[in-house]
Amino acid sequence: MNSMNTNYSIRDEIRDFWSERADTFDQSVGHEIFSEEERKGWQRLIRKHLGEGQGRPLLDLACGTAVISHLMHDVGFKVTGLDWSDAMLAQARAKAKKRGTDIRFVSGDAENTMEPKDSYDAITNRHLVWTLVDPASAFKEWFSVLKPGGKVLIVDGNMGRETWVKSLQKFWTKVTGKPAASHMSPEMMARHQSIRSRVHFSHEMPAEAIVDLLRQAGFVDIVVDRKLGDIHWAQARKMPFLRGLERMVQERFAICARKPG
């Protein structure tokens, strides 16, 4: 097994985990977009923090199957999608070809992009920060790649925080013996938990902790936006009841920060 190889790192595990999920990634609510209401919610959020694209270069980190890349493209950015999973990039390229979009895709590590310094007006990512082994270094890398005055928009959440819905799900499982509905198999769930236990934010990831690291990296004008209800309501309506309820009560947020310039 690869996990027995001393050269097989947590970063390799993360890459392989998401590669194995590439074929079914877009089938999950919260990954791909399944309603016009959700799409409008995302576009509202993007315009609120980044404005209209107007052909400005944008780097979408850990782009996966290019869900966020396409949202950014639709708002008018010139998008580069970066991911280190070849399987995800294959799905992303196929989707872009089908939709006739000119998004550029590159293979790379979000913690060390290898992209030119001062080259992007904006950087985006969704559900990436919790997977970072060294977020402080990653944020410094993102700061370097942004042009002076450029912005980073992070969409993530404190998913390690216990909610009353999660407690209810655990109680239900204990009483009935039926696990809560999930888009992952028990084996993949176990791998997910194993990975989570070894990244930097192994337990909770409050927005304030991310803000502190962004500030240390040199970012200014940092804004935490918790008003994502339109997106979460649209997602919850497409989920099983308890999963949808959990989506509505989780501590999810967007964080926007600017590189001085």
pLDDT of residue 165: 62
Indicate the average pLDDT of the chain.
91
Whether residue 196 is predicted with pLDDT greater than 50 in this model: the reply is yes
Tens digits of per-residue pLDDT, 214-226? 999 999 999 999 9
What integer pLDDT is reported at residue 163 of this predicted model? 64
pLDDT at 1 over 50: no
Whether 24 has a pLDDT exceeding 70, the answer reads yes
The model's pLDDT over 87-112, given as tens digits with 9 standing for 90+, comes to 999 999 999 999 999 999 999 999 99
Give the pLDDT score at 171: 67
Alpha-carbon dihedral angle through residues 83, 87, 90, 91, given to the nearest 10 degrees: -90
Per residue in 133-186, pLDDT (tens digit) is 999 999 999 999 999 999 999 999 998 777 656 666 766 677 777 766 666 678
Q: List, as one string, the DSSP characters of the chain.
A: -GGGSTT--HHHHHHHHHHHTGGGGGGSBTTB---HHHHHHHHHHHHHHH---TT-EEEEET-TTTHHHHHHHHTT-EEEEEES-HHHHHHHHHHHHHHT---EEEE-BTTB--PPTT-EEEEEEES-GGG-S-HHHHHHHHHHHEEEEEEEEEEEE-TTS--HHHHHHHHHHHHH-PPPP-SS-HHHHHHHHHHHTTSSSSS---HHHHHHHHHHHT-EEEEEE---HHHHHHHHTTS-HHHHHHHHHS-EEEEEEE---
Q: Does residue 138 fall inside a structural domain?
A: yes
Answer yes or no: is 227 within a domain.
yes
pLDDT of residue 183: 65
197: CATH:
3.40.50.150
CA distance 231 to 40: 8
In a domain, 241, yes or no: yes
Give a yes or no: residue 60 inside a domain. yes
pLDDT of residue 247: 84
What is the model's pLDDT at position 161? Answer: 72
β-sheet bridge partners, residue 252:
157
Give the Cα separation of 29 and 92 in Å (integer).
Answer: 17
- Number of independent structural domains in the chain: 1
Domain that holds residue 236: 9-258
Residue 2 forms part of a structural domain: no
Quick: pLDDT tens for 57-72.
999 999 999 999 999 9
In a domain, 100, yes or no: yes
Query: Rounded mean pLDDT of 48-52?
Result: 98
Q: What pLDDT is stored for residue 198 in this prediction? A: 87
> Which positions ≥6 away from 229 have C-beta within 8 Å?
248
Q: Is residue 1 part of a domain?
A: no
Q: What percentage of the chain exceeds 70 in pLDDT? A: 91
- Asked if residue 3 is part of any domain, the answer here is no
Q: pLDDT over 90 for what percent of the chain? A: 67
